């Protein structure tokens, strides 16, 4: 700014000197000798140059916290005078960082670190295991053995009470006489038992009954023995009374007054009965009935252990 001279010659406030009314000022001239004719315009020399935009790239499997490097190219250095840097604008090729979701709130542990729903699931799992185990046990358990039906024994009309039993291991020949002994000399028996029973008749009479079992090797020999014992004067197999086994009170003699015999396959059963308290008549029908009923005891007697 050029000071304007005061026409009254007042001193200048800026310089403190008197104004010179006679001062001449020469007009300023512009010197363009230092300007290069080939220099670019100011705006063109200071404007940054950008390359063509790159196509968008697919996001790589980088960690979500890693920041992608900037794809904006560096501005080239200008050969002109220094100028103001360009304002950064939006870069469409730059990837923005993906915001991370906040971490879920941690639930407080209950009952030693197991939630109520966890206890429910554990209970259901235990119930399922119990059901499967029961089904497997039902399918794989061994079958229970079928109960063996016990033989109720022979059904007899009279109630027989055993009082003595013996198995003759010495053989049948040694306890026989007459033709019966000769028969066993040719065909010995396999097994022999002798027993005594007592029973009481409806009228109160007490009866002693002898039952002898003879097991033969085959059915044929058993048939021959049974036929021989039913004939007269052929001898017999001694019962326990005839063989000297007396009881107390004394047993009555068995003299074939109530005799009966029967073949059961290869087993021959021989019986005889007598009264305790009264004389026995020959061929007493009541005693014969008692003896025939006692023959049902033959097979169990032969099979029962001693």
What is the spatial distance between Cα 17 and Cα 38, in angstroms, rounded to a whole number?
A: 47
Contacts of 22 (CB under 8 A, 6+ apart): none
3-state secondary structure of 18: strand
3-state secondary structure of 213: strand
What is the spatial distance between Cα 269 and Cα 31, in angstroms, rounded to a whole number?
A: 168
CA 216, 222, 227 angle in degrees (round to 5)?
Answer: 145
Torsion angles phi and psi, residue 180, rounded to 5: -65, -40
pLDDT in tens, 6-51: 555 544 444 444 445 445 555 555 555 565 555 554 444 445 555 5
- pLDDT for the residue 13: 47
Nearest to 193, CA basis, from 267, 245, 288, 107: 267
Torsion angles phi and psi, residue 263, rounded to 5: -100, 130
- pLDDT for the residue 140: 75
pLDDT in tens, 114-169: 788 888 888 888 888 988 888 887 777 766 666 665 656 788 999 999 999 988 66
- pLDDT for the residue 76: 47
Secondary structure E strands in 201-242: 206-215
Nearest to 267, CA basis, from 206, 208, 221, 222: 222
Whether pTM > 0.75 for this model: the answer is no
Sheet holding 206-215, edge to edge: 161-167, 191-200, 206-215, 267-275, 260-264
- pLDDT for the residue 201: 95
Contacts of 225 (CB under 8 A, 6+ apart): 180, 183, 187, 214, 216, 268
């Amino acid at each position: 700014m050029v000071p304007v001279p005061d026409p009254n010659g007042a001193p200048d406030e800026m310089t403190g000197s008197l104004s010179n009314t006679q001062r001449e000022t020469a007009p300023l001239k512009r010197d363009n000798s230092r300007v290069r004719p080939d220099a670019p315009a100011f705006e063109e020399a200071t404007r940054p140059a950008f390359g063509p935009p790159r196509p968008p790239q697919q996001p790589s499997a980088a960690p979500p916290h890693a920041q992608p490097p900037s794809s904006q190219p560096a501005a080239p250095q200008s050969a002109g005078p220094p100028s103001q840097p360009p304002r950064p604008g939006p870069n469409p090729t730059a990837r923005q960082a993906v915001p991370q979701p906040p971490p879920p709130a941690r639930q407080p542990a209950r009952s030693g670190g197991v939630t109520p729903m966890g206890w429910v699931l554990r209970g259901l799992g235990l119930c399922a295991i119990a059901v499967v185990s029961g089904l497997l046990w039902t399918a794989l358990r061994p079958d229970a053995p079928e109960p063996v039906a016990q033989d109720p024994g022979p059904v007899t009309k009279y109630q027989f009470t055993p009082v003595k039993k013996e198995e003759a291991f010495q053989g049948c020949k040694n306890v026989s006489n007459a033709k019966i002994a000769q028969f066993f000399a040719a065909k010995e028996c396999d097994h022999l038992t002798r027993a005594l029973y007592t029973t009481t008749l409806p009228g109160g009479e007490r009866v002693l009954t002898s039952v002898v079992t003879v097991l033969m090797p085959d059915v044929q020999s058993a048939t021959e023995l049974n036929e021989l014992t039913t004939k007269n004067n052929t001898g017999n197999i001694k019962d326990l009374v005839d063989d000297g086994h007396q009881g107390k009170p004394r047993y009555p003699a068995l003299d074939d007054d109530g005799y009966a015999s029967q073949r059961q396959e290869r087993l021959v059963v021989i019986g005889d009965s007598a009264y305790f308290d009264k004389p026995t008549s020959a061929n007493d029908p009541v005693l014969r009935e008692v003896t025939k009923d006692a023959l049902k005891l033959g097979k169990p007697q032969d099979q029962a252990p001693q």
